[in-house]
Structure 1
Amino acid sequence: MKKKWLSPLALIFALLLFLAACGGDDNGSSEGDGGDSSTDPDMLQLATGGTSGTYYPLGGEMAKIISDNTDVEANAISSNASAENVLSIENGDVDIAFVQTDVVAHAVEGINAFDEPVEHVMAMGSLYPETIQIVTTDGAGIESVEDLAGKTVSVGAPGSGTFINAEQILEVHGMTMDDIDAENLDFGESTGGIQDGNIDAAFITAGTPTGAVEGLAASVDVAIVPIAQEKIDELTEAYPYYAADVIEEGTYGLTEDVNTVAVLAALAVSDSLSEDLVYEMTKAIYENAEGMAHDKSSFIKAETALDGIDIEVHPGAQKYFDEAGVE
């Protein structure tokens, strides 16, 4: 009798242990707020920017680093940059993308170019300063932002980071888009238009030197319109994600330093990617940046990777920065 009583009891006990093991964690893994590693794609889409800007070549190098140092392949694709990239992540069209820190902050808040807040976009880390360059030529007669009034000026695609930068810079000078003849051109079209005489100037937000502007400088004498210090102070007070910046003498053949402002380029990722994968990607990029050929790679360092970040950091990236001692 004793033997018959113990056997069912042992079976019940074993069943309870099994059920407890299966339901021990509602999250199913230690992936944090990121996705489940079982759903990570085999091929990641990395959105960059136009082929004549800084994002595209740098993104190609990063895609190779990810492919060489993780278990997934990464493919860098061209795009219309920040605003489009944020929405592409939100809609599930890409997994990782270059963004401006100001634009992605607007996206999370649901302001400016964004009708409602995005919910699935997280930060991986910032990369380098993106300089706002107001490009023209020596003979255009444009020596200040106020001189842009009445001129034909490229301001980038509506809703893009460049477009918003142009709006805000005009704003602190008491101007709006109505005061200029605005054209919505990409970087290559902008510099081509300046060279052909079809436009007078262009706002270009990108790391310097920018390939499209270097190409223009090969055929004409390039000038960069300076921003006065009092306007820089006004802009940074109104919009704290800006910082003072300088385009150094010699860049594009300039004969003196030019004062301007910058935001930060950053990488954003989908919250569907697992903590493990984003940790591996973050570690791969920040620990292999010095091997990249692009000039901006010298700015890509773990110790500055949280500068300018005003949205939630993906737990995989945060895990790497915690290990690296980055606050």
Structure 2
Amino acid sequence: MKKKYSFLMVLLLVFGMILAACSGSNSSSGEDPGNSNELDFISILTGGTGGTYYPLGGAFANIISEETGIETNAETSGASAENMTTLKNGDAEIAFSQTDISSYAVDGTMMFEGDPVENIQAIGTLYPETIQIVTTEKSGIKSVEDLKGKKVSVGAPGSGTALNAEQILEVHGLTFDDIKKQDLAFDESTAGIQDGTIDAAFVTAGTPTGAVEGLAATEDIVIVPIEKDKIEALIEKYPFYVEDEVKSGTYGLEEKVATVAVQAMLVVRDDLSEDLVYNITKALFENMDGVQHAKAELIKAENALKGVGIEVHPGALKYFDEIGVSAE
């Protein structure tokens, strides 16, 4: 009798362990789409501490932590391209990026040639990073076509600015072979314009840009416009661009200047649940008024699907559908 009792107890113990193991496996897999808290920690990749991504990322991390209960932290990084690779490797959950860089990552082109990032989707765009073609009144340059034969800085080698310059020249029937290309950072570019060693420069940055403001203190600045038909052609071929303008008064300009912009955006790993990404998206866009950064006033849900350029995560789409925002 004692042996039978012991054997029964062993069977019950083994059965209980099997049930516990199955239950534990299901609860930790993160496969339950209704469980919005399947993560204990979220990492947001930003950029360098001196840029815009890092302070915004810190504010976003605080919002996500408070609204979802999931500990969230902003991490410094090498910004857009590095961030896409880190998400690909599964070493973070959310990242800042420029829209064009995210598109290159998904398509496996440019710096991601032959090595696409296949596990990312968008939360939404944030604010414009304006392409400014900077020159001075004394240069005589009034149009993109006027850049032909001129010494023009297109940004640092391999930079997003260089790709912007190449694509804008392309829709105007020009290539780098048509200009005397210089590969200079923004401050080097404006210094070159000031001392006369170059004629113009492409600058991709939020306006007003410090380096250009410095130039405007000593020179009469011209921002070369992009004509409407060329803007439309550019956006048709490269949908991560959006129409933009440099406002009158910026750099002492008397009139606004038409141009284009890529945008800063938030990208997320596609294996995060719909509920989790919905909650993150809702938390961010409904608490932006508490973010103490100048760019926060530009971040609006109604603009978040403009120029995204990659697939939007279903959780983010659920939120935008809920509030009546759709891609144009």
The structural deviation recorded for 1:40 is 4.8
Kindly provide the amino acid, as one letter, of the partner of residue 74 in structure 2: A
Aligned to 1:46: 46
The structural deviation recorded for 1:291 is 3.9
1:200 aligns with 2:199: yes
Aligned to 1:170: 169
RMSD across aligned C-alpha pairs, in angstroms? 3.7
Secondary structure of the residue aligned to 2:111 is coil
Residues 214-253 of structure 1 mapped to structure 2, 5 A cutoff:
214-253=213-252
Confirm or deny: 8 A CA contact 1:127 1:265 kept in the other structure.
Answer: yes
Kindly provide the amino acid, as one letter, of the partner of residue 57 in structure 1: T
Kindly provide the amino acid, as one letter, of the partner of residue 105 in structure 1: S
Residues 1-327 of structure 1 mapped to structure 2, 5 A cutoff:
14=16, 17-24=19-26, 27-30=29-32, 37-38=39-40, 40=42, 45-47=45-47, 51=50, 56-57=51-52, 59-67=54-62, 70=65, 71-76=71-76, 79=78, 81-90=79-88, 96-115=94-113, 116-269=115-268, 282-314=281-313, 317=316, 321=320, 326-327=325-326
Confirm or deny: 8 A CA contact 2:172 2:230 kept in the other structure.
Answer: yes
Cα deviation, 1:73-118, whole Å, max 9, x if unaligned, reads 32445x4x54444345445787654322122112111123321212
The structural deviation recorded for 1:286 is 2.6
The structural deviation recorded for 1:140 is 1.3
TM-score calculated relative to the size of structure 2: 0.78
The structural deviation recorded for 1:152 is 1.7
Secondary structure of the residue aligned to 2:207 is coil
Confirm or deny: 8 A CA contact 1:48 1:98 kept in the other structure.
Answer: no
Confirm or deny: 8 A CA contact 2:47 2:53 kept in the other structure.
Answer: no
Confirm or deny: 8 A CA contact 1:275 1:315 kept in the other structure.
Answer: yes
The structural deviation recorded for 1:180 is 1.3
Confirm or deny: 8 A CA contact 1:48 1:97 kept in the other structure.
Answer: no
Aligned length: 316
The structural deviation recorded for 1:126 is 0.6
Confirm or deny: 8 A CA contact 1:58 1:294 kept in the other structure.
Answer: no
Kindly provide the amino acid, as one letter, of the partner of residue 62 in structure 1: G
Cα deviation, 1:181-240, whole Å, max 9, x if unaligned, reads 222223233223322333221111222222322232223221101112232232233323
The 2-side partners of 1:35 and 1:162 are apart by 38
Secondary structure of the residue aligned to 1:99 is strand
The structural deviation recorded for 1:292 is 4.0
The 2-side partners of 1:288 and 1:18 are apart by 40
Distance of aligned partners of 1:124 and 1:30 in 2 relative to their CA distance in 1, 3 Å threshold: same
TM-score calculated relative to the size of structure 1: 0.78
Confirm or deny: 8 A CA contact 1:172 1:231 kept in the other structure.
Answer: yes
Confirm or deny: 8 A CA contact 2:103 2:240 kept in the other structure.
Answer: no
